A and B are shown apart, each in its own frame.
Chain A
Amino acid sequence: MPVVGVNRDKLFEALGQKYTEEEFEELCFEYGIELDDVTSEKEMLRKELATRTTGAADLGAASEEVIYKIDIPANRYDMLCLEGIARSLNIFRQRETPPLYRLADMAGKQIVRMTVKPETALVRPFVVCAVLRGIDFDSVRYNSFIDLQDKLHQNLCRQRTLVAVGTHDLAKIRAPFTYEALPPEDIRFVPLKQTREFNARELLQHYLANDQKLKKFVPIIQNSLVYPAIYDADRTLLSLPPVINGAHSAISLDTRDVFIECTATDLTKAKIVLNTVVAMFSQYCSTPFEIEPVEVVDALGDTQVYPQLDTRQMDVAVPYINSCIGLDLQADKIAQLLSKMQLSAAAAPDGSSVVVQVPITRSDVLHACDVMEDVAIAYGYNNLVKTVPSTVTAGKELPLNQMCELLRGECAMAGFTEVLTWALCSHAENFSKLRQQDDGTTAACIGNPATAEFEVCRTSLLPGALKTLAANKDIPLPVKLFEVSDVILLSSQKGCGAENRRRLVAVLCDRAASFEVIHGLLNRVMEVLQVPYAADPDPTLQRQRQLLGGGYDWRADDDSPAFFPGRHASVYFRDRRVGEFGIVHPEVLEAFDLNNTVAALELDLEPFCFDQLGRPMETQIL
């Protein structure tokens, strides 16, 4: 969720009211934004300095004016600046009516034109533009203008990959403009904040090496054969999108006419970005909310005029709104509520629907459900009467989970304490520390872990249990632990290529290895699962064996390198291997930093998911 920092006193000035912090929080809560933090420039600088080891403190110059950090919902791009927050809240509080954004009448005037060259299709095909005339900046407004572009770049523009905004002092450049794509060596200019000329290739190299902020945008175009560039009629470079503007056309506090260009790989988002910027800052134009259009001539010669400020009309049925919220409102009441949310609306003559005008600032409205939500917000979520749906259904647990719930209790009753470990682990924990080779056919691998220890999905529960023992060496011996959880195995049976398998692991850590105790747990688990020992001569068990299609047994073998030779057995159910137990190999113990012996059991539980009549129940459902 984006966080926007605004000057509290300026915000209250714009809201026409001073609030206590609690009152303001209450207003935010009702509208669906959140006061995240209260700070000041000085405070932020102090925190920054505290985390830095070098750098002299220059706190004296920093402002002590209170800054509200406000959490904005990710789809409300129109609230990423003070102007937008104040406007939304003022309209919500019915202090203002939504402004009517309109294009300047260009009759008898020269419209600014931008011509798009076909080569731009190779790298960044779209551009949309607008002009704000007679804008009246002061330092607060100017900073807000810059901050809004930053916030848009971070969020909707996805770090400038989808859209990048450039703003220019129109007095310093001369229309018409061209949007071109040229070999980097052919683009030469003095970039913003530089004094010498660079060509585009060396400039990007320079940013990669020297500029923490700009270097992350370099890869967006670096490997392209041609780089995008915007020129004016005199071949003065306006910008090298999406990285940097030229120094020549830079705006300042004195700029009166601002030329805005948004280059993009996504035209829909470019229009939203342009509309957001002009909707917010046209309020400071000599004619407020009037925006001068720009003609964009695309590579095929077709002309579009931007910005496109038309509202979108939606007819939303009143019964739909009422039936979704659980209200019984008349159309005119709904229209009245919607006006608090910047949606101008009117009841249809027959009262069956509301005709809604969705303004450019509400690009989040895609469907009638978005209108319905705004009615609910304006009505107040907390004013709704609680009802309980009459839906009648039967509660039911998933058989595999229900069986595991019961089995967990049995394991605890058998003296083992339950642990719960992570499904993600390091490659070494899953393989080399268990003396296993990775043949590449078992473990799902993670491509981009933020934490180095999460490289693979575990294929065994044993590492987690051993790690838990190692982390709890202060507990008196013997320590007996168990876990019932899922491992993840590569599987050609599943469309996605991997499946979970429910397993039981149990470990016994003591000064002397005890095969019998872990063996005894296996026998006990099978007893409560009603799975008879295959070789048990007791005739009463014969029937159960027939029902299940066989019993279980264990066979000594040395096929698991994680276990001590001669102290390992595999478990079979209906002659299929379902698990193993034995004494953990000393080298495994050493790898997991354990000083005492460990006996372990690991068992696949899914074959044992059957009902009381022994009928198998599905465990792999999706």
Chain B
Amino acid sequence: MAALQLETDLLAQVGAGQLADSAEFAKAHNVDHQAVVGLLKSLVMADMVVMEAIEHSRLTVTPAGQLYVGVAAPEVQVFNAVPAEGITLADLKTQLGVAGDVGFKQAMQNKWVGIDKSGGEPKVVRKVESVQDTVLPILNALAAGQEGSINEAELMALMRRKLVAKEAWKTWKVSKGPCFALQRKKAATELTTDMLQSGAWRDTTFKPYNFDALGLPPSGGHLHPLLKVRTQFRKIFTQMGFEEMPTNNYVESSFWNFDALFQPQQHPARDAHDTFFLTKPAATPASNFPADYLERVKQTHQHGGFGSIGYGYDWKVAEAEKNLLRTHTTAVSSRMLYRLAQEGFHPAKYFSIDRVFRNEAIDRTHLAEFHQIEGVVCDYGLTLSDLIGTLQQFFDRLGLKKLRFKPAFNPYTEPSMEIFSYSEQLEKWIEVGNSGMFRPEMLRPMGLPEGVNVIAWGLGLERPTMILYQVDNIRDLFGHKVSLSMVRKNAICRLGL
């Protein structure tokens, strides 16, 4: 019978107030009772009907018990099979099969048979003259569906022997539910184009939505957290009127990286322990440095000039020619300032965010390459107060409004200041960057006019990002060991909002 017809019949019968037992309905319609129950449950879900259980139970003969129905209890079969002279257990089992095994144990328990070992080989012998089969009538009666007057004790014994079992089941009394109707309206899952076109959405019932579940994650790609932060820094700088420096030159000469910055040739930073020196290309021939500028740099290191006494050591061009991976983006700043002096000075504000390299062992907080953020302002008459004011403007944009400054030392800035900020997130003062005014020994040899001061500051990109996104291992953020699931879950960067 078609399922729809069955449902219609069922609802008609409930509507007439007459479904006393679902099993009878199933029998009457010649369908499996489980099919009716399935139908009922779906109607209950729709609140069209309510079900009330009717408990049933009956005794049945188990498949093991079925073997003996209409034959004889196995122990009786064993007793009958034992001849007067006895029989070996093996022969008995061969003769009777399963019944032999089961029956022998029971017959022994009943003391109907015994084992006689007097004749050498043990034999099964009768111990009583005759026996009565009390099991067979019970099995026969139950198999015939007659529970009638069975002795309770014997019944329990047969249940223990797993020849008889009690079977329980339910059928249902069905009556109208709050939403009863003779025809069920099918609930739709989603609004569809077909419904829009046919207008069926007007009469369609929609399945309730599960508002507690999460939606499906959208497909699509993701930007890298560190570079999302970089993007915000770029915006902050450009909004403040800074022009980006070309920093796409990782290989640099010691000249631009150190000497031009008035960093003496014996400075520890120029040691192989801190800096990646290259074996190929090993050096930048000095002919690539502007000859007159090179000479001024040399003189300033050796003997001073421009008001300085210099370092008083023997400056070597070979040391300046050594190639390295730049240790700071200030190497680019020095090139840009030299260029600015050559072009004819005009006030300028520069920024860059790019990689720098340090020959350090890698751990949770150190990488051999990381990103440096740098800002530079060049103009006549800039002051230390201007630097502090500019830093306040910049860090305000990052949400780091409470700043204080600590005197520090840096070979190419004087004054030099470490920038500390009170982190609301970490609830303590943290060092957030370095800053200073470039030394005259750096600027004047470049040809920048007297009176021009250059203020600058720098900070790392990784550390603020780690604090922002609560990443505690720098390798999770930068490098191939990045956690892609972290990248996928990463929020937008609100720096600068």
Contact = CB atoms under 8 A, between A and B. Distances in A.
A58 to B, nearest CB: 31
Contacts of B369: 422-424
B347 A392 contact: yes
B226 interface: yes
Given A419-B224, A496-B252, A500-B249, A370 B414 contact: yes
Contact of B234 (A405, A412, A468): A405
B406 A32 contact: yes
A192 interface: no
Nearest to A401: B244
Contact of A417 (B222, B348, B367): B222
A106 interface: no
B243 A393 contact: yes
B160 to A, nearest CB: 54
A396 B406 contact: no
Nearest to A386: B389
A382 B403 CA distance: 9
Contacts of A413: 220-221
Given A377-B407, A382-B404, A412-B221, A420 B482 contact: yes
Contacts of B364: none
B312 interface: yes
Nearest to A397: B244
B221 A482 contact: yes
B258 to A, nearest CB: 14
Contacts of B223: 408-409, 412, 418
Interface in A231-270: 266-269
A325 B385 contact: yes
A24 interface: no
Nearest to A472: B484
Interface in B378-430: 378-379, 381-386, 388-390, 392-393, 404-409, 411, 414-417
B416 A373 contact: yes
A376 B362 contact: no
A448 interface: yes
Given A445-B278, A486-B250, A488-B251, A412 B335 contact: no
A418 B224 contact: yes
B385 to A, nearest CB: 3
Contacts, number: 312
Contacts of B294: none
B304 to A, nearest CB: 7
Contacts of A490: 280-281
B246 A387 contact: no
Name which of A382, A448, A494 has the most chain B CB atoms within 10 A of its CB.
Answer: A448
Given A446-B278, A488-B251, A376 B384 contact: yes
Interface stretch (A69-77, A179-187, A349-357, A554-562): A69-77
B309 interface: yes
Contacts of B163: none
Contacts of B238: 395-397
Interface stretch (B22-30, B37-45, B434-442): B434-442
A420 B478 contact: yes
Contacts of B234: 397, 401, 405
A415 B220 contact: yes
Interface in A344-374: 364, 366-370, 372-373
Contact of A73 (B335, B384, B408): B408
Contact of A324 (B313, B388, B437): B437
Nearest to B248: A500
Nearest to B276: A446
A414 B482 CA distance: 21
A622 B411 CA distance: 24
B492 to A, nearest CB: 13
B268 A158 contact: yes
Given A413-B221, A420-B227, A396 B243 contact: yes
Interface in A395-434: 395-398, 400-401, 405, 408-409, 411-424
Interface stretch (B12-20, B184-192, B353-361): B353-361
Contacts of B272: 447-448
Contacts of B249: 494, 496, 499-500, 622
A586 to B, nearest CB: 20
B384 A324 contact: yes
Contacts of A411: 221
Contacts of A268: 311-313
B132 interface: no
A155 B269 CA distance: 11
Contacts of A494: 249, 251
A384 B226 contact: no
B415 A387 contact: no
A470 B266 CA distance: 43
A393 B383 CA distance: 18
Contact of A393 (B242, B311, B313): B242
Given A326-B384, A424-B357, A388 B390 contact: yes
A417 B393 CA distance: 34
B286 to A, nearest CB: 10
Interface string B26-67: 000000000000000000000000000000000000000000
A324 B268 contact: no
Name which of B266, B288, B348 has the most chain A CB atoms within 10 A of its CB.
Answer: B266
Contacts of A548: none
A566 interface: no
B221 A417 contact: yes
Interface stretch (A129-137, A205-213, A450-458): A450-458
B181 interface: no
B197 interface: no
A605 B440 CA distance: 39
A366 B389 contact: no
B219 interface: yes
B172 interface: no
Given A391-B377, A447-B282, A457-B251, 17 more contacts: A366-B308, A367-B304, A369-B415, A377-B407, A381-B405, A387-B389, A393-B242, A419-B484, A420-B226, A424-B369, A440-B280, A471-B480, A475-B485, A479-B484, A486-B250, A488-B250, A622-B335
30 contacts: A30-B407, A266-B313, A325-B384, A369-B439, A377-B415, A382-B404, A387-B385, A389-B389, A389-B455, A391-B378, A393-B241, A397-B238, A398-B244, A405-B231, A411-B221, A412-B221, A418-B221, A420-B482, A423-B357, A424-B368, A447-B279, A448-B272, A450-B361, A457-B251, A457-B325, A486-B250, A498-B278, A499-B251, A500-B250, A620-B248
